[in-house]
Each structure stands twice: as C-alpha cells, then as structure tokens.
C-alpha cells in the first residue's frame, strides 16, 4: 500500500492536525492493513467511513470493498485526501464533506446488500453521540468497526458492577454484540495522543428481546444513571421521567429488582424488565 507519512504529507501541504477536531492520523500502513483484515471486509461491502482524514483506512478498505463513502468535515484536508486516492488509482470512494452527526446514514445504505458496514477512527468528543446515532440507525447497519480512546472502549465493554459500566454500555449491549479487535498504541499516531486506543467490532443483532417501548427503555436507562450514586428508587423518582417514589418502588418490586440497588449493578435484561414494568405502572 502506498501511504505517505502524515508528517510528510501535512508538511508538504503546509497543514497541521486540528486539535479541536481531535485529529490523530495513523502512521503505520501495517497497522491500517491489520485493522482492515481483522474487519473481514468483503468485495460486495459498501462502507461508510467516519472521519477519513488522510486516508489511512480509506485506501486499504477501498482496495477491497465495492464502494466507500468517506465522511470528512475538515474542508482543508479533503483536497489532500483526493490526491492520495488518485495516486493510489482508487475511484470507488465518494467523499462526503459533512459532520457525521448531520449525515443521514439510511441514505448511504440504500445500495448496500443487505446493510452498510461502518468504519472509523472516532474523535473522543463525539464518540458517544456517534454510537447513539448508530444504535438508532442500526436497521441499515450490519457492523461498525470503530477506534476509540482506551478509556471509552473500556466503558463500552464493561460488565455490571464495574465503575465504568454506564448508560452507553447498556444501550449498546441491548442491541449489539461487542468484540475487541485490536489494541493500538499512542505511538502509532501523529500527532501522538496522550492515551492508547482500542478497535471494537459492534455487530448489531437481527433479532433481540425487545422491550415494549425501546425509546422509553433508553429514557429509563438515562434516568437510572443520571444520579448513579443514588439507589434506583430515588434515582428514578428524582429524574426527568417524573415518576412518584411510590410508583418507582412498585415497579422495581414487580420487576423483581431490589429498590436499594444502583444502576451500575443491573444487567440489560433487568433494565428491559424494569422499563416494561414502569410503562405499565405509570399509566
């Protein structure tokens, strides 16, 4: 793979990585190839790449996939990216100059068979928002292979009872299976970030144990973790759900959950049970 060092490229174009966009570019082509290989990209795949940057992942994935929609919001870097793609004779990449949070994922999934594959190195400041967006668009997404700062990756893969276990963990585990793909050292990036990264594969489930109302389930999860130091009865009663303490207690008992437990101790199944029960008890 022809991949010019990010240092050399940026210097040649008299550009700098933009800290406010969380830009850290992969330097080693072997690392990029390893990620793409472990992602099991197939020739029929249509890829949506989040934050194409200088093309470290775009180039190796475009060599395999049918088509790549490369989303990049940094206008300054797009000309450079186009030049890199052309020099590698890659013409199956469509660059979308847009903020990923404003992209309609369903639009790009229309020609995917059957669903789109999402790939990206996510800036820390929008990682959670991107994950929530993918959860909501999961009917058109088969898998998402995403690079996160290690701290966030550990939150996503945490188990009940851990300090890292939170709202995002429960939402993702409700509708997806999560697998660690690789550890990426901070030294693999330019400029070098302060922390290491992890690549996770998020495979959305085709069928799952649905709650009676998924939107309400997510509100219950948010409410429970909103005051995570409080026990569940008090956290729910003091939340934006506007549930009376008595209703909260009644729902927890009917869901066979001790009201004195805290949110981080509940499994996904228990949250589903609680949500379904609250839906009945508050009406």
Per-residue HEC secondary structure of 79-98 comes to HHHHHHHHHCCCCCEEEECC
CB atoms within 10 A of CB 95: 17
The topology under which CATH files domain 6-204 is Rossmann fold (3.40.50)
Give the pLDDT confidence of 167-225 residue by residue, as tens digits.
999 999 999 999 999 999 999 988 888 899 999 999 998 866 666 688 999 999 999 99
The ranges of the chain annotated as CATH 3.40.50.150 are 6-204
Residue 115 has pLDDT above 70, yes or no: yes
Is CATH 3.40.50.620 what the domain over 214-281 is classified as, yes or no?
no
Mean pLDDT to the nearest integer, 67-77: 92
Full-model pTM:
0.89
**CB contact at 8 A, 212 and 275:** yes
Residue 25 forms beta bridges with which residues? Answer: 190
Per-residue burial over 133-144, b = 16 or more CB atoms within 10 Å of its CB, e = otherwise: bbbebbebbbbb
Residue 1 has pLDDT above 60, yes or no: no
The ranges of the chain annotated as CATH 1.10.8.100 are 214-281
DSSP string of 112-145?
SSS-EEEEEE--GGGHHHHHHHHHHTGGGEEEEE
Mean pLDDT to the nearest integer, 43-67: 94
Distance of CA 224 to the CA centre of its chain: 22
Residue 14 has pLDDT above 80, yes or no: no
């Amino acid at each position: 793979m022809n991949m010019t060092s990010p240092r050399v490229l940026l210097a040649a174009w008299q550009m700098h990585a933009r800290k406010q966009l969380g830009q850290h570019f992969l330097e080693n082509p072997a690392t990029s190839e390893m990620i793409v290989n472990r992602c099991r990209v197939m020739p029929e795949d249509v890829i949506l790449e989040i934050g194409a940057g200088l093309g470290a992942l775009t180039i190796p994935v475009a060599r395999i996939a049918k088509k790549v929609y490369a989303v990049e919001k940094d206008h300054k870097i797009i000309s450079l990216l186009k030049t890199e793609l052309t020099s590698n004779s890659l013409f199956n990449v469509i660059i979308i100059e847009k903020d990923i949070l404003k992209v309609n994922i369903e639009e790009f999934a229309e020609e995917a068979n059957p669903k789109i594959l999402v790939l990206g190195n996510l800036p820390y400041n929008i990682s959670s928002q991107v994950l929530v967006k993918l959860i909501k668009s999961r009917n058109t997404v088969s898998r998402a292979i995403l690079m996160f700062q290690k701290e966030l990756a550990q939150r996503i893969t945490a188990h009940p009872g851990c300090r890292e276990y939170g709202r995002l963990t429960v939402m993702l585990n409700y509708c997806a299976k999560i697998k660690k793909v690789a550890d990426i050292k901070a030294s693999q990036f330019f400029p070098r970030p302060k922390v290491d990264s992890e690549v996770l594969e998020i495979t959305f489930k085709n069928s799952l144990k649905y709650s009676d109302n998924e939107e309400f389930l997510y509100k219950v999860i948010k409410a429970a973790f909103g005051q995570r130091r409080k026990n569940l009865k008090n956290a729910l009663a003091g939340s934006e759900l506007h549930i009376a303490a008595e209703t909260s207690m009644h729902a927890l008992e009917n869901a066979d959950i001790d009201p004195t437990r805290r949110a981080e101790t509940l499994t996904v199944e228990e949250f589903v049970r609680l949500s379904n029960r609250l839906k009945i008890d508050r009406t």
